[in-house]
Structure 1
């Protein structure tokens, strides 16, 4: 199975959105404790897009983004990249560190560690929900942080890692802190065999 099949199946996309909602609920508690404020997460949309269209989704190739990459291993393998616009990341960091943060001017090791852990918490929550839902053993490798323009991150990470062709699975996530919404994006690149195994495990024929 490849992502083109997934893109044509509303049933499969709905299943992934439900898994995403479960993961968002799990992540919200951990993230709230980490930043010291109540954070609510929602999964507004799940879709499949061409990799060359990813930059447009993010607001253009020159938009500065914070990216946290991890490989998926176990009974389902692939790659996951969490991307957060730099101004949204600055807002979360400012709540955590109790000081103003300017990512484009450079950040210290403590701030880098905090950003990495935010990405790790979110990605781990989604993978844990997927693993439990599918009853498959899945793990994530240690996270790696990158801060760069969207176009550069896509070129270096998504294009080089896509073994499934020129498509990526996108899970858009909104963080809510009070009335403020902060958008984030998960780009998941499952190995072709793993994608079929995931949906076979939940009883969906492909």
Structure 2
């Protein structure tokens, strides 16, 4: 599947609206101003997923969320461990972090906020009325976490949407990767709604 400039522009507009929603919610979570943007939107082959975030042997945090409705699939939020630590310090407002259970709970809540913000933007543009599941968290090497042991490749399209997301807090820029992984035929439905809908 090719992604032409029109589709990419629409996806980027939707993504930036989602980032704005996420920034507002995240700002409320930590009690300070957050700016978020989506500098890169790409349609990539799913086989590239394990290597897309960098070295496959680097440890990462991965938050996985299922979504369903008129289309279905998975959302993956991938964050390198250095960024995870900086984000947790922002969330808890201290360098002295609590135990792992509380850290995981905070990251799952952040995953809920980010995925919900992007899904709301997609819903607003497409009226697909998508719902999301409770997040699941994993820490491991990128190649292991993003392998077929996590994603059932047989149930997905050949392509996934990558939204490379940046946010800035207190003049510090942090980056994460947001992967929208539709099940078969869902990507075609999504693009049909986006391109065919009324895009203001």
Give the alignment's TM-score, normalised by structure 1.
Answer: 0.86
Deviation at 1:101, TM superposition (A): 6.2
Deviation at 1:41, TM superposition (A): 0.5
Partner of 1:83: 78
Deviation at 1:162, TM superposition (A): 5.7
Displaced runs of 4 or more, over 4 A? none
Contact in 1 for aligned 2:157/2:184 (Cα 8 Å): no
Contact in 2 for aligned 1:83/1:186 (Cα 8 Å): yes
- Higher share of residues assigned helix: 1
For 2:103 and 2:185, the matched residues in 1 are separated by 37
SS of equivalent residue, structure 1 residue 118: helix
Q: Which runs of 5+ in 1 are unaligned?
A: none
Partner of 1:157: 150
Partner of 2:140: 148
Give the alignment's TM-score, normalised by structure 2.
Answer: 0.89
2:169 to 177, 181, 188: 177
Q: Does 1:109 align with 2:104?
A: no
Partner of 1:198: 190
Residue-by-residue CA offset, 1:71-100 (whole Å, 9 max, x unaligned): 110112111111111111111111222333
Deviation at 1:25, TM superposition (A): 0.3
Q: Which runs of 5+ in 2 are unaligned?
A: none
Partner of 2:31: 36
Q: Does 1:54 align with 2:46?
A: no
CA RMSD of aligned residues (A): 2.1
